[in-house]
Amino acid sequence: MLFFILACRVLFCMLLSALLHISSGFATGDDDGIPLFNSLSFEPFHDEVWPIPFSTAHLSVAAAPDFHSPFQTPPMITHQTADVPGPSVVNNYAGGEQRLTVVPKLGETDLHAWELWHIQRMLKYRLHQAKINPFTLRLLPPMHDVRHVHIDIIHKQLQLQVNSKQAVYLGPTVDHQGEIVAIPIHRDAVKEAVIDAEKNGKVGWAIVGTNFGPHPAITWFSYALLDVPDRKAFVDNLKNSNNVKALKNFIRPVASLPHFS
């Protein structure tokens, strides 16, 4: 009986000592198994909450036709291609005649890192608004071996898409003389020629600034890639977005631009 009482006292002392040690660890925050909040690091863009942008006063509603089957891949573009019609060509469109808007020759400029950051953030925000997953979006320069010809290639592609209502409005340019627009590239062959040579199913984007003065102009800013597992849903979501217009609407003279509400 005496042995049993001594054993109980020893067990009680051990239990009391363990409880005191655990409570001391929580009080000092010294727990190797639980990281402290201030030890965590955060990486921008991957899981951020999208705030309301600084201005939504000049958005308009527009529908968007489907891509070609969608995003069909034709033979690779060459410099001898004659895909782009001239200024005086008249297209048959939706059963009637419509004069084709000519995309001005593209200029090119180097943007500051903060401008590119803002462009990427706004395009992610627009995709999020359109119920398109934005978290794989990455801005990219042209591939090195086409650095001297990519402007001509993308100019011809934009001319082919000038009437397609899939240009995503991102906001005004820094000088407030134009608009920043992101256009998904219809043809995978063009994306693989200028942005990413891998056939990986990603959608390429051309990001440009348009000047809607008396003499419309376009300046290339950047390319982008986005993982799109379901292209039909991607096209439908763009079609239903309030921030999508045709590229031609951004390159008309001031007098013919629609008023934004």
Residue pLDDT, tens place only, 216-242: 889 999 999 999 999 999 999 998 998
Each residue of 160-179: pLDDT tens digit?
A: 999 988 999 999 988 888 89
Between 27 and 178, the more confident residue is 178
Count Cβ atoms below 10 Å from residue 152 Cβ, excluding itself.
Answer: 15
Report the share of the chain in percent with pLDDT over 90. 45
Between 25 and 189, the more confident residue is 189
Residues whose CB is less than 8 angstroms from the CB of residue 129 and which lie 6 or more positions away in sequence, other chains included:
241, 242, 243
Q: Look at residue 187 and tell me whether its pLDDT is greater than 50.
A: yes
Of 13-22, 128-137, 197-206, the least confident: 13-22
Helix count and strand count (H, E) for the chain: 5, 9
Q: Look at residue 200 and tell me whether its pLDDT is greater than 60.
A: yes
Q: Look at residue 26 and tell me whether its pLDDT is greater than 70.
A: no
Asked if residue 245 lies in contact with residue 60, where contact means CB atoms within 8 angstroms, the answer is yes
Sign, Cα dihedral of 249, 252, 253, 255: negative
How far does Cα 166 stand from its chain's mean position? Answer: 13
DSSP of 27-79 = HHT--TTS--GGG----TTSS---PPPS--TT------PPPSTTT---SPP-T
Which pLDDT belongs to residue 72? 42
Report the share of the chain in percent with pLDDT over 70. 58
Between 2 and 138, the more confident residue is 138
Question: Is the pTM of the predicted complex or chain greater than 0.85?
Answer: no
For residue 116, give Cα distances in angstroms to 62, 146, 155, 194, 221: 26, 21, 21, 19, 8
Euclidean distance between CA atoms 123 and 170, whole angstroms: 6
Of 51-65, 177-191, 200-214, the least confident: 51-65
Mean pLDDT of the chain: 72
Euclidean distance between CA atoms 45 and 134, whole angstroms: 9
Each residue of 64-122: pLDDT tens digit?
A: 333 443 444 333 333 333 333 333 333 444 444 456 788 989 999 888 999 999 999 99
Which pLDDT belongs to residue 255? 43
Closest CA to 159 of 246, 80, 240, 243: 246
Euclidean distance between CA atoms 13 and 80, whole angstroms: 90
Residues linked to residue 209 through DSSP beta bridges, in sequence order:
180, 219
